Amino acid sequence: MIIGEANYVRVPTIDNAWREAMWLCVRNGYDFLVKGGSYQGQIRKQLDKVMIEITAPGSRPLAPITPAAIPAPTSEVKIGEYFVRYLVGDEKAPNEVYTYGEFIVKQLGQVISLLRSSEGNTNQATICIGNTNTTFLADPPCLRSISFKVVNGRLNMSVYFRSWDLYAGLPENLGGLQLLKELVLSQVEDVFPITDGSIIAYSDGLHLYEQYFSLVDCLNVDKINVDAAAQNDKIEYLQVNGR
């Protein structure tokens, strides 16, 4: 189900979510030139708000399957590596300022304990990504919160992204987060009856980068049209910055 006017998607799988969110962004997104943060000088097509509910996110494969001529945004192997390296790993590479894992690992045990001790009857099982220094980073974390709730015997996960790369980021992020949910599920299912539930994802900055526009056009019936004001803004920006 898609409610286009509200930017709401409710679908079974991560693959479905990826495709329908791209369609929404092509249809309802607004255009602007990136002048701060990642990919400065590129045009983004972005949704000002979106809610994506995935009812069976554990369906395999987690990674979308694309036609041979279109490079897939991720794979089962890459999703597994992302989960281990960036979600439950807290070691940073020399060029990294942070990983999500350094925040998640410190809170994961408490989240599991809260769910176990309450037998799922709690609103407190939430992981915060970032701290009081986060806003001052050159590239702050995009994922900011991960919340676990048991609803009608199912373990649901809600996540919020302040900024979210739709084409390349969303499938790998959600695949890794589903593996995290399955890990939490494995640690509480011996205490009370529970099954795997939904992922509900929110963002006020879900976007398509200009570098992916041609690939998105191949995957969507509706083609991307870029606002003339954004195109002119890019021309002026490149002239001023000598690019």
Q: Which residues share a beta bridge with 146? A: 127, 159
* CATH match of 2-240 with 2.60.40.1170: no
Residue 243 has what pLDDT? 61
- Average pLDDT value for residue range 120-148: 96
- Average pLDDT value for residue range 13-20: 98
Q: Which residues share a beta bridge with 126? A: 147
Mean per-residue pLDDT over the chain, rounded: 96
Residue 155 has what pLDDT? 98
A 10 A CB-CB count for 63 gives: 20
Name the token pair of 75.
Answer: 């794979």
- Average pLDDT value for residue range 5-22: 97
Judged against a pLDDT cut of 80, whether residue 56 lies above it is answered with yes
- Average pLDDT value for residue range 77-102: 95
Q: Give the start-to-end residue ranges of the domains of the chain.
A: 2-240
Give the predicted TM-score (pTM) of the model. Answer: 0.96
Show Cβ contacts of residue 51 under 8 Å, excluding neighbours closer than 6 positions.
Answer: 6, 7, 8, 9, 200, 201, 202
- Average pLDDT value for residue range 90-104: 93
Q: What is the pLDDT of residues 3-12, one digit of tens each?
A: 878 999 999 9
Judged against a pLDDT cut of 90, whether residue 242 lies above it is answered with no
